[in-house]
């Protein structure tokens, strides 16, 4: 069968850099950091005192108090970003067949805020009787954001959730892409959200020795591809894209930001938390995305790297790129926008896919910030253009977004400039 074309027509975000797409993008182009000292709980007994919180977020500007209490923070993020994307798309749902519009949403941790609060409350009980909120289970489960978006907008098409740690929202986007190009939907709200800056979120990642402890300088703690990197920075947020079938979008006169042309999905099958040190799975998944799109390495201009600022992950990803591109790797622009946003876990892939689309649409490569002269790792080839510290203008034909998750889950999403 002939596959249908898929385009991006709407986007919405909540991030440490701003609570809408224009604010986030402007901050990225300027090379700003969204990482600050944690404000939501007492962090003083933890090794890490900072993170990428979504600030100035008030769900009561979107939902009434009674309704808001039914939703975990990660679901609240999802609902707001989805409404932004809908408004941005110009899609008039009253004129659409809602049986052909779906929601596919990813999350790495789901309702961890609710789960933590309920268990802490239970632990404080003195009468031995289990007291739990009746909304405890529906607020906590990973699929609820997808369900609540569909309920909010009466969307009756494909609806489910993806869970693959840091790759969750990229898997959601890949699934949405495939459903549309197979003709099973006209449009899909897709992306992901997470709200993991909690007692157990910070504590758990501290126990893994996975996150940075650069408490003296939070803004510079996320430093991908630098020798002094000491772990990723935990963040929270949401990103929503509206993917739409090309002819459907064209018929309604939609503004098209970019076209999605390929996706690669595979597994490292190597380790619970560490990547294959040679980047074999990462190299294969990028190759798969290009084969899916029918293009080669010479066509790609920009890679939005997974680039978490971990000692092993950064090196493995760059090895993967060099093994595929060879000498052509030096003409690529590569950057990690996690240097500015931190790592939003289940929202990371969606926000970085949006960033990749914006890079194509605006002809600007956002930077990898926090790299200092002399802070060079002997394991990294610095002839690569890692777009350090300053955005660069570039006409981008094809760009890819990499996301790799604990458990060895690898994803690569490929976009091109709209014609």
Active site members: 166, 306, 343
Q: CA dist 325 to 319, 320, 330, Å?
A: 10, 9, 9
Number of helices and strands in the chain (H, E): 13, 14
- Whether 79 and 62 have beta carbons less than 8 Å apart is answered as yes
Cα gap 292→278, rounded to integer Å: 23
Those residues with Cβ within 8 angstroms of residue 200's Cβ, 6 or more apart along the chain or in another chain: 112, 116
For the chain, what is the radius of gyration of the CA atoms? 20
From the list 262, 228, 225, 206, the residue with the least C-alpha distance to 338 is 225
Gap between the terminal Cα atoms of the chain: 23
From the list 361, 342, 351, the residue with the least C-alpha distance to 234 is 342
- Whether 334 and 305 have beta carbons less than 8 Å apart is answered as yes
b/e code 1-38 from CB counts within 10 Å (16+ = b): eeebbbbbbbbbbbbbbbbbbeebbebbbebbbbbbeb
The label of the residue with tokens 């996975």 reads: 210
For the chain, the maximum distance between any two Cα atoms, rounded to a whole number of angstroms, is 69
Q: CA dist 12 to 78, 88, 276, 339, Å?
A: 9, 8, 33, 20
Those residues with Cβ within 8 angstroms of residue 27's Cβ, 6 or more apart along the chain or in another chain: 17, 18, 34, 340
The label of the residue with tokens 């009468």 reads: 127
Cα gap 371→254, rounded to integer Å: 39
The label of the residue with tokens 């993020």 reads: 77
Q: Which two tokens stand for residue 75?
A: 């679901």
């Amino acid at each position: 069968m002939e596959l249908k074309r898929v385009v991006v027509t709407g986007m919405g975000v909540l991030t440490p850099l701003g609570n809408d797409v224009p604010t986030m993008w402007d901050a990225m182009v300027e090379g700003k950091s969204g990482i600050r000292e944690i404000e939501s709980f007492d962090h003083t007994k933890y090794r890490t005192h900072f993170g990428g919180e979504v600030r100035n977020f008030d769900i009561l500007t979107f939902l009434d108090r009674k309704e808001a209490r039914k939703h975990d923070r990660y679901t609240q993020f999802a609902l707001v970003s989805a409404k932004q994307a809908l408004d941005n798309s110009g899609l008039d749902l009253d004129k659409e067949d809602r049986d052909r519009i779906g929601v596919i949403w990813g999350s790495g941790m789901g309702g961890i805020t609710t789960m933590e609060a309920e268990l802490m409350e239970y632990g404080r009980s003195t009468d031995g009787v289990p007291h739990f909120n009746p909304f405890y289970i529906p607020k906590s489960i990973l699929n609820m954001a997808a369900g609540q978006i569909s309920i909010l907008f009466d969307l009756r098409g494909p609806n489910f959730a993806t869970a693959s740690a840091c790759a969750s929202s990229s898997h959601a986007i890949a699934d949405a892409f495939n459903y549309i190009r197979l003709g099973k939907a006209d449009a899909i709200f897709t992306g992901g959200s997470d709200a993991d800056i909690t007692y157990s979120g910070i504590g758990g990642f501290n126990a893994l020795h996975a996150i940075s402890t650069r408490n003296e300088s939070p803004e510079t703690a996320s430093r991908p591809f630098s020798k002094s990197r000491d772990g990723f920075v935990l963040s929270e947020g949401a990103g929503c894209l509206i993917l739409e079938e090309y002819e459907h979008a064209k018929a309604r006169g939609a503004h098209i930001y970019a076209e999605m042309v390929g996706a690669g999905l595979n597994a490292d099958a190597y380790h619970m938390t560490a990547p294959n040190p040679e980047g074999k799975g990462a190299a294969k998944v990028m190759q798969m995305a290009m084969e899916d799109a029918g293009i080669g390495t010479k066509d790609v201009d920009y890679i939005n790297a997974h680039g978490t600022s971990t000692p092993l992950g950064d090196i493995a990803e760059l090895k993967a790129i060099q093994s595929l591109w060879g000498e052509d790797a030096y003409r690529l622009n590569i950057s990690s926008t996690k240097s500015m946003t931190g790592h939003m876990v289940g929202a990371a892939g969606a926000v970085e896919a949006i960033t990749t689309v914006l890079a194509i649409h605006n002809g600007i490569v956002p930077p990898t910030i926090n790299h200092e002269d002399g802070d060079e790792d002997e394991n990294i080839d610095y002839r690569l253009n890692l777009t350090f510290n300053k955005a660069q203008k570039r006409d981008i034909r094809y760009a890819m977004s990499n996301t790799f998750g604990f458990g060895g889950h690898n994803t690569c999403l490929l976009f091109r400039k709209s014609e």
